[in-house]
Structures are given as structure tokens and as C-alpha cells.
Amino acid sequence: MFGALTEKLSQVFAKVAGNKRLSEDNIAEAVREVRLALLDADVNYGVTKNFIKRVKEKVVGESVVKSVKPGQQFIKLIHEELTALMGGDEATLNLTANPAIIMLCGLQGAGKTTHAAKLAHYFSKPDNKKKSPLLIACDLQRPAAVEQLKTLGAQIEVPVFSIEGEKNPLHVAKKALKFAKELGHDLLIFDTAGRLHIDEQLMRELEQLKQLIQPHEIFFVANAATGQDAVKAAAEFNNKLEVSGTILTMLDGDARAGAAISIREVTGKPLVFEGIGEKVNDLQLFNAKSMADRILGMGDTINLVKKAQEHISDEEAKSLEEKMRKATFNYSDYLKQMQAVRKMGSLKGIMKMLPGASRLPKMDDASEKEFFKIEAVILSMTLKEREGRNELSMPRMKRIARGSGTTIQDVNKLKKSFEKAKKFFKNPPNKKMLEKMLGGM
Ligand SMILES: Nc1nc2c(ncn2[C@@H]2O[C@H](COP(=O)(O)OP(=O)(O)OP(=O)(O)O)[C@@H](O)[C@H]2O)c(=O)[nH]1
Ligand SMILES: [Mg+2]
């Protein structure tokens, strides 16, 4: 996600990590390189300066140089400071009121409209308390904005309030408040117009809207791909509107770490959510530790586990673990597992969340296709074949290949890798390690 920065920091860490002994000079050099890497990634100058100052103080104070594993200690320190800089714990939202009101603001194309829908969807999930959100179309500048929100609303089955032909967003807002009250909506999300640059008129319009609807949360929506520009805009929106938090978007693309690292320090307001894709489901609570993990190339195990828990039940996980231990898992289990993984999102997206993802082979669309192929092969097996009660003989493999639109080689490849995996679990070279692996799942 943060390709260049992650790469550079990994290099710095690689240099210091293995060292049994580090001199003050080594550390000073490493700190200097971290500083350059941050500035290169578009982290705000002042933020970088303070960050480096704190790191230096701690390097000396905690005597990194004299610790048992100075390299590891140094990495841990950078991780902790990054986490603290981005806010430490997950933010608490002020949405207990009924109705709770959220207003979104930000520059053009930052993702306001998309994230209005994502938030509505997020809060209508059973765990998140709100039952009946309403989206309100207050962007009357861009001709297609209302339609866009309506389309998104239809996708997630959340109603959208808009007034045909109306030019004044305040009128829409006023009627929406009344409408929501009558229909008992308990969460109102206002989408607003964006501008290429901050202009007085836009700000006045937003100030008036704020005055009228008295939102409990005002989220600044920041496109993480724009680095410093997003940071500057965040500061200005905050000056004028006193925002309550930031949603970082486009984190799935070529995001620069600059916005993620700087915005909280510059605005003094928490990062609350992160947008990680175009789909309505691609939203998660901002988590500073997980963001630090990702910046440092340590993967995103926090969100991976959350995702997995959402889609794989405890019993399922237990039963699979049992089967792996006894090496009795079969193609049906494999298929079920694959389908569960697929529910979590694209394979590409999941791979990016694994520790050391930048060093893993890149997942491209071809790998995604490979995944479909395996699925097709298993689906073309009979139940007995899937459960290993019928050996995959040549005629059977021929039939399966034909049925799945693949080749005998494809079927054979799956068969071979499956047998290998089974052998491995039946007789693992290192039983202790396997136990540890399964225990951690
Ligand atoms: N990859 C990716 N695309 C996103 C994300 N969020 C939004 N988009 C896409 O970015 C584009 C702009 O998003 P919008 O929600 O229309 O942005 P906006 O801030 O409402 O734009 P204006 O209304 O023109 O100011 C759309 O094509 C979205 O699908 C994200 O987190 N990741
Ligand atoms: Mg919009």
C-alpha cells in the first residue's frame, strides 16, 4: 500500500536488525534515514521533525544501543511512536443520539459520496447499533451527484432523501430533518459538494449546513493518494468547520503515507475510518497499530483476523483445525475454506494484509483465475471423490477436467499439491511448529 516508504524503512531496519551491537553513530544514521524516508513519503515537515525528536530522545533514554537486541528495540520504538502519532486506540464515536447526525466534507473526488454509503452500510450491520439510516443528498453542484447517491443507496437498501430540481442544499437538509423524524430514522448521513480547492463560498455553504443540522460528527474525507494536499485541506476544513475526525480513503491504491501519518497531528482530530476499495463493504475502523504495521511492512493481521471472524465461525475454524491435525481434511473442506476466504474479499486484497506482503510473489489477476480454476475442478468432482472415498484415477481426472473446463494437468496439479499438504500434516517435519501454527489460527 505504501510501497516506497515501506520499502525504504525495511531497508533501514534490515541494516540495523541483525546487529548484536549498535554504535551511537549507527543509530544516528538509521534515524537520519527514517527521517528522509518520511519526508519522501510526503509526511508533513513539522510532524516529521517532532517525530524524529521524540525517537532520538527515546533512543538515548531507553538506551537502545545497550539493549540485548538493539536492532529489534529500534524497530519497536519506531512502531510505537508511529502508532502514537496516528492516535493510539480506535476512536470513540459520538453517535448515541437519536437521530445521530453525520456530515461529510472534503475536496472533490475524495470519496465523500461513496463513504456516505459505506457508513450507512457499516452502521446498519447488526453489531453496530443503528437500525435505520437515511442518506441525504446535499451535493447539488455536480449534476450526477444525487443519482450517484441514489444508486449506492439502492445497492445497500438504504433510502436516499433528495429533492428534484432544488438548488439550495439548506432547503434539502431542512426537509430531510423533518422527513427523518416522521419516519423514525436513527442515523442521518449528509453528503455534501466538493471543490477542487477550498473556496469561500463552499465553506460558507458548509458552515450554514452545520449550523442548521447540528451534526454530532463532521468527518473530513481525505484522499490518501494525494499526500500533502490532503493534509493542507484537512487543516483548512478543520479551521473553518471544527471537524470531529478524518476518513482516509483510497488506501487500496497508490496511497502515500503522508496523509495517514500527518493528519491527526496537524488537525488534532482522530482518524476514524479507512476506505480500502470502491465497494460499499470496503470500510473499516481506523486502527493506528494496524496502520503502523502496514507502513512498516508487517502486514495487517489485526484487520485480517477481524475479517476472518466476520466470515468464518468459531465452530468451523475448530473443526478444520481438528481435521488438519488428524490429516483427515478432504476436497470438500478445501472448497469450503476457499469459499470462506473468498467471502472476505479479493485474493489480492487478502494477500496484501499478510506480514511481509511486499516480499511475497505479487497476486495478479492470473492468480485470482487460478483460484477459480481450483474451485471449478473441485465442483466437478462427485461427492465420493471430494471426500477421498474414490481415488482420482485417470478416467475420473479426464471427466473432471472436461466438466470444469480445465485440463488433466490442472486436475493433476491440484491432486499432487493436495496429497503433499496431507502428507505434510500427517507427518510434519516439525511437530512443535505445526502445533504452534494451528494454535494461532
Ligand atoms: N479504490 C478506491 N476508490 C474509491 C474509494 N472511495 C471512493 N472511491 C472511488 O473514487 C471515486 C470518487 O468517489 P466519490 O465518492 O464520488 O467522491 P466525492 O468526494 O463524492 O466526489 P465529488 O462529489 O465529486 O466531490 C469514485 O469512482 C469512487 O468509486 C476507495 O477507498 N478506494
Ligand atoms: Mg460526491
Q: What is the pLDDT of residues 106-152, one digit of tens each?
A: 999 999 999 999 999 999 987 777 779 999 999 998 889 999 999 99
How many other C-beta atoms lie within 10 A of the C-beta of residue 23? Answer: 11
Are 47 and 84 spatial neighbours (Cβ–Cβ below 8 Å)?
no
Confirm if 118 and 143 have CB atoms less than 8 A apart. Answer: no
Atom 25, ligand 1: which residue's CA is nearest? Answer: 108
For residue 331, report the distance from its CA to the centre of ligand 2, in Å.
Answer: 46
Does residue 133 have its Cβ closer than 6 Å to ligand 1? no
Give the domain ranges of the chain.
3-85, 100-296, 306-439
Compute, in angstroms, the gap from residue 86 CA to the centroid of ligand 1.
Answer: 23
Distance 78 CA to ligand 2 centre (A): 37
Higher pLDDT pick, 387 / 115 = 115
pLDDT in tens, 321-376: 777 667 777 888 888 877 777 777 666 666 666 665 555 566 566 667 777 888 89
Strands (E), 224-275: 245-249, 271-275
Q: Please report the pLDDT score of residue 319 as a whole number.
A: 75
Q: List the Cα angle 214/217/221 in 5-degree steps.
A: 120
| Ligand number, closest to the Cα atom of 114 | 1
pLDDT of residue 329: 77
Alpha-carbon distance values, 270 to 29, 102, 103, 232, 408 (Å): 32, 15, 16, 16, 55
Would you state the pLDDT for residue 339?
76
441 pLDDT higher than 50: no
Query: Residue 199 C-alpha to ligand 2 middle, in angstroms?
Result: 17
CB of 244 shorter than 6 A to ligand 1: no
Protein residue with least CA distance to atom 6, ligand 1: 111
Q: How many other CB atoms are there within 10 angstroms of residue 435's CB atom?
A: 12
Hey, is 14 helix, strand or coil? helix
Q: Is 118 in the pocket of ligand 1 (CB under 6 A)?
A: no
Q: Is 206 in the pocket of ligand 1 (CB under 6 A)?
A: no
pLDDT at 104 over 90: yes
Residue found under cell 455536480:
142
275 Cβ closer than 6 Å to some ligand 1 atom: yes
Q: What is the rounded average pLDDT of the residues 64-88?
A: 82
Cα of 110 from ligand 1 centre, angstroms: 6
Q: For residues 117 and 149, is the Cβ–Cβ distance under 8 A?
A: yes
Q: Closest-lying ligand to the alpha carbon of 195?
A: 1
Task: Tell whether domain 100-296 is in CATH 3.90.1200.10.
Answer: no
Phi, psi at 255, each rounded to 5°:
-70, 145
Torsion 206-208-212-217 (CA) sign: positive
pLDDT at residue 359, rounded to an integer: 57
- Cα 32 from chain centroid (whole Å): 30
pLDDT at 435: 58
Give the model confidence (pLDDT) of 7-56 as tens digits. 888 888 888 877 777 777 888 888 999 999 999 888 999 999 999 999 98
Q: Tell me: domain 306-439, CATH 1.10.150.670, correct?
A: no
Whether pTM > 0.95 for this model: the answer is no
Domain spanning 3-85: CATH 3.30.300.20: no
**ω into residue 361 within 30 of 0, thus cis?**
no
Q: What is the pLDDT of residues 229-282, one digit of tens each?
A: 889 999 999 999 999 999 999 998 777 888 889 999 999 999 999 999 999 999
Question: pLDDT higher for 298 or 245?
Answer: 245
Is the link from the previous residue into 99 a cis peptide, with omega within 30 of 0?
A: yes
- Torsion angles phi and psi, residue 135, rounded to 5: -95, 140
Q: How far is ligand 2, taken at its centre, from the CA of residue 250, in Å?
A: 14
